[in-house]
Structure 1
Amino acid sequence: MIKNFAELELDPNLLLAIEEMGYDRPTQIQAEAIPQALDGRDILASAPTGTGKTAAFILPALQFLQDFPRRKPGPARVLVLTPTRELAMQVADQARELAKHTTLNIFTITGGVQYQEHANILATTQDIVVATPGRLMEYINSERFDCRAIEWLILDEADRMLDMGFGPTVDKLSHECRWRKQTLLFSATLEGKGVEGFTADLLKNPAELDAEPSRRERKKIAQWYHRADDMTHKLELLKKILTEQAERSIVFLKTRDRLAELRIELEKANIACAWIQGEMPQDRRNNAISRFRDGSVNVLLATDVAARGIDLPDVSHVINYDMPRSADVYLHRIGRTARAGKKGSAVSLVEAHDQPMIDRVIRYTKEEIKERFIKEMRPKHKKPVFKKKNKKKEDSKKTPAKSKKKSAKKKK
């Protein structure tokens, strides 16, 4: 097992930057991906947010650019695709931090930027370009961006790109970069949509890496839940946690309507908050994120769709005001805290109908999530017990005809 970054055969200038950023040892995905990438392999990696995946692909890319320096000025040699503009900016910022003792140039190409600004970038030498697929494709179609020099193509959060409908665009970009030497694909999960939505020739004989679940990183997150009798009780629990326990919190809700209702309740209680939700104008979204980032407010309300691809430092608590629809979304959410080696807390507020989801999450993560109580706010109702269905036994008892009759009765 690789214990420190020095064992990864990285240049001293990269090791110095890593040290200055305060990282002491590689995360699981970094220890697995960096050597394979430096050996020239394509990478297919499952790595949820919060596991250090950005450095897992940026460090070998920076090392490659130094091992094989360019002979003359020209276009980008490494292309990183991300689903959102915020994520592109975060990846580029981290790449610049890691590359600060080199002379490499790192740029972003995303929506919401004036054409002239991009024209200035494209006229200079670029080493790494971090881009969103749609905007980059516009420049390729108008012959303003040259893909022929791309040697590494990196896809970050590939599953989200598919969710957002970028699959065909990414396939076109892959074709545009067909002279490349290597492809690295990172996705939160490798099942289902994780990779299947892309053409099979995207990767050639990749090293398959799975940093899910990354136990060592998650141990830094204390997880517990509070039972709530009803919505009123749940709201009181949240207000208590926000005012007395949490320093900086992201509160997750399942819909925009629920977010709007909670926002009004918190305003009544004089708890200042910012919020992000799907289909929100970009300038308002940026404003909300920067208010939370700079500490103007310490509570950020978010829906799952809106929280895609944002990386916020120093989040002390992730609070599931509404439980997510699946256990892997739970993992995505709690990965927003305990980043870069810090500790964090994940708190779920659970009504009776949410109990099966908590049990599912416990089975999925193979970790204990204990129930806690706030002294004067203990639930009055007993904890619900849901019987586990033993499907195999049931199925073996039923004949197909009988089971069809039963399901027809149920429908009535």
Structure 2
Amino acid sequence: MKRKLKTAESPGVKKPKKDEADNDDMEEERGLTVTEEDADQGTDKPAQPLEGAEAGEEEEEDDEEDEEGSEDEVEKGEGEKFGDDDDEEDGPELPTGLTGAFEDTSFASLASLVSENTLKGVKEMGFDHMTEIQHKSIRPLLEGRDILAAAKTGSGKTLAFLIPSIELIYKLKFMPRNGTGVVILSPTRELAMQTYGVMKELMTHHVHTFGLIMGGSNRTAEAQRLANGVNILVATPGRLLDHLQNTAGFMYKNLQCLIIDEADRILEVGFEEELKQIIKLLPKRRQTMLFSATQTRKVEDLARISLKKEPLYVGVDDNKDNATVDGLEQGYVVCPSEKRFMLLFTFLKKNRKKKLMVFFSSCMSVKFHYELLNYIDLPVMAIHGKQKQTKRTTTFFQFCNADSGILLCTDVAARGLDIPEVDWIVQYDPPDDPKEYIHRVGRTARGINGVGHALLILRPEELGFLRFLKQAKVPLSEFEFSWAKISDIQGQLEKLIEKNYYLHKSAQEAYKSYVRAYDSHSLKAIYSVNTLNLPMVALSFGFKVPPYVDLNVHSKGGLKMTKRGGGGGFGYQKGKGAHKAKIFKHVNKGKGDKRQFSR
């Protein structure tokens, strides 16, 4: 039975506006305001066909073609079933008692444990009741317990660790002369800024100092603020280690609590060694909190070296049927390489009055599609790892504050960020693994009663990825578009790329980075670069003939390509066993000859 996929904007959780001027004055008095001057600037049963993509209403009523498109709908086919669930890995062997299973989930029930100033800040932010992770972790943390917490993205982890950390500083009566009492580590600059913003709202009625240090900001100004005394410090790992080792005035010997947010992500993006050094430098007598969306072996190893002997394990999703939140409606569409851009263009054009995030596998691909879509009058924003920090920051807050808009991004924006009221998550390039998928779609349907939609675009050769998603408890159904209603702009795209020098160069770099990123996928059985029909891939970038691509083809014992820390794009290393291959321009040699690579 078919049913339509709703595309109405999700209500989200709105925060009341605050008097920013008052907050800024308070920050200036504490000497902690971060200004721009500080910055350096398969199933047997086929899926049911769908009539089209509900794509919202067009802005130009006089455009007949647009009016027809606005009536399109996406209907939901029956989801495919792939394989059997594998046995789940055993979780970390940690005590599971004292998980805060109390009946009253209102923040008011914490009145005897949490200061009036903190509760007043929570109320002004618009929160009345705790989420499950907050309900289970805040009380034990207030008692001083170490904790390893695992919860889905959008579950409210930030307040779960901010409230106890603020209370710790409040009860110990920390002053600037006491230095830093709490350190909060974030994997990316954007998440660090967001955590700092939430803390700023919570600290409205407190007098303690707090600050933010991160890569891309003015290091000298940061060092001065640290010397003045920052009671609660939000930081990225690299910049924190730098100040610990090189800033003489940094007062951290009174540290009472270390919080590692998105611990799995910090380890994934290459900060493992920095974390170990940070843990060695910080005082041993402290409370430690590890918060993560997924539990991995590396997270467990980090827990062993950073937590006390008997930490508390809080896993709010351990017995849940799905790894994603209930309000998220998710599906995939099967699309051949040559039609990928036409599908994306049609979907974005129809939904431009909504709020969407589109994920790409490389920085250059984001850059090209940003330039192309804006050139053809489809306004979009972009965030990727090659931008200057000031640009990333400006774009991030611009998209957060917008009621509608399209943000193109790499995975730099996929972890931990709370962007209000995102209606659609579109994964134009597929994720590397189920964990990455979960974190991408975690940008929508956030908070209590949050709703949202997610669309995964797969090539026919990539359908095996659905089996891995099912094993990870991710429920997906197939969406099919009416290809007759997809905008056929291929000819116009090719002419534009051919005639516009700058778009041509950008398209070349994007095409190359797409192929290289594809070759770096860890699931080689699913994402094999040898399955790419390069002439068809090139069409989606506007090329009639594929450009040259230098590609490191690795032997079985070669070095795996890895993502750069925090950038969201791909960096490449060549192992000793690696040898170069060049992808040549396609030459028609007959139907049986499909060779595209030459060593």
Category of TM-score, reference length = shorter chain: 0.7 to 0.9
How big is the shift at 1:90? 1.2
Letter of the 2:180 partner, please give it: A
1:245 equivalent in structure 2: 351
* Aligned CA-pair RMSD: 2.9
User: How high is the TM-score relative to the length of structure 1?
Assistant: 0.81
Given candidates 196, 199, 218, the residue that maps to 2:325 is 218
Given candidates 296, 300, 323, the residue that maps to 1:191 is 296
1:235 equivalent in structure 2: 341
Is residue 2:455 matched to residue 1:347?
yes
Letter of the 1:151 partner, please give it: Q
**1:153 aligns to what SS in structure 2?**
strand
How big is the shift at 1:216? 10
How big is the shift at 1:232? 4.2
CA deviations over 1:335-390 (Å, ceiling 9, x no partner):
011234432211122331232223432342253x22234456589xxxxxxxxxxx
1:200 equivalent in structure 2: 304
Structure 2 CA distance, aligned partners of 1:295 and 1:201? 42
CA deviations over 1:109-155 (Å, ceiling 9, x no partner):
22223244224422434321111222222222232212211001111
Letter of the 1:365 partner, please give it: K
Is residue 2:270 matched to residue 1:270?
no
Given candidates 21, 41, 52, the residue that maps to 2:156 is 52
**Does the 8 A contact of 1:47 with 1:210 survive in 2?**
yes
> Which segments of 5 or more consecutive residues in structure 2 lack a partner in the other structure?
1-100, 487-599
2:132 equivalent in structure 1: 28
User: How high is the TM-score relative to the length of structure 2?
Assistant: 0.57
Is residue 2:463 matched to residue 1:361?
no
After superposition, where does 1:400-411 map in structure 2 within 5 Å? none
2:361 equivalent in structure 1: 254
Given candidates 156, 163, 166, the residue that maps to 2:261 is 156
1:95 equivalent in structure 2: 199
After superposition, where does 1:326-405 map in structure 2 within 5 Å? 326-341=433-448, 342-365=450-473, 367=475, 369-375=476-482, 377=484
How big is the shift at 1:293? 3.5
CA deviations over 1:132-187 (Å, ceiling 9, x no partner):
22222222223221221100111112222223332232222222222433111122
2:510 equivalent in structure 1: none
1:43 equivalent in structure 2: 147
> Which segments of 5 or more consecutive residues in structure 1 lack a partner in the other structure?
380-412
1:350–1:136 Cα change, 3 Å: closer
1:373–1:199 Cα change, 3 Å: closer
CA deviations over 1:306-327 (Å, ceiling 9, x no partner):
6455443332211111221211
Given candidates 265, 273, 276, the residue that maps to 1:171 is 276
Structure 1 CA distance, aligned partners of 2:362 and 2:189? 22
**Does the 8 A contact of 2:176 with 2:228 survive in 1?**
no
1:140–1:287 Cα change, 3 Å: same
**Does the 8 A contact of 2:131 with 2:156 survive in 1?**
yes
1:333–1:216 Cα change, 3 Å: closer
1:374–1:279 Cα change, 3 Å: same
Larger radius of gyration: 2
Letter of the 2:334 partner, please give it: R
**Does the 8 A contact of 1:272 with 1:299 survive in 2?**
yes
Given candidates 399, 404, 408, the residue that maps to 1:301 is 408
**Does the 8 A contact of 1:44 with 1:185 survive in 2?**
yes
2:9 equivalent in structure 1: none
**Does the 8 A contact of 1:291 with 1:297 survive in 2?**
no
- % identity of equivalent residues: 31
1:4 equivalent in structure 2: 106
Structure 2 CA distance, aligned partners of 1:147 and 1:302? 36
2:166 equivalent in structure 1: 62
How big is the shift at 1:272? 1.7
**Does the 8 A contact of 1:278 with 1:305 survive in 2?**
yes
2:514 equivalent in structure 1: none
1:401 equivalent in structure 2: none
Q: Which moved more, 1:127-136 or 1:44-53?
A: 44-53
